[in-house]
Amino acid sequence: MTKYNVRPNIVLRTANITTAMSLTAGGMGATIAPQSALTPELLARTQVIKLTPTALQCDIAIVYNNQNEPTKQAQSFIDLATRIFETTHEERD
């Protein structure tokens, strides 16, 4: 995101994917997560946007609570990440 001069307001960081996914499902923000972390329970409570393949070693997706509209900031993050990953994918093809 540095390339696009975007500095997200990060209020919490965690190395635990379960914590990140639980916070996301609870409506506390959005996260980028490996698709392997998406359980049926999480899928029922979240919206998932699959990202195109990248140089990353696993498939990833943006995940956010599907019970409420994303905040303006979360939607900006989703839009930006989607554009970046699509651009990255196009450049690699």
- Residue 41's SS3 state is helix
More confident residue, 48 or 7: 48
- Look at residue 83 in the predicted model and tell me its pLDDT: 82
The set of long-range contacts for 18-25, using a CB threshold of 8 Å and a minimum separation of 24, is 21/63, 24/63, 24/64, 24/65, 25/65
* Range of the structural domain that residue 72 is part of: 2-92
Q: How many domains does the chain have?
A: 1
pLDDT band of residue 92 (cuts 50, 70, 90) is very low
39-86 pLDDT tens trace? 898 889 988 888 776 555 666 778 888 888 888 888 888 888 888 776
At residue 29, does pLDDT exceed 60? yes
Rounded-to-integer distance, Cα 19 and Cα 31, Å: 11
At residue 2, does pLDDT exceed 60? yes
Structural tokens at position 41:
């329970």
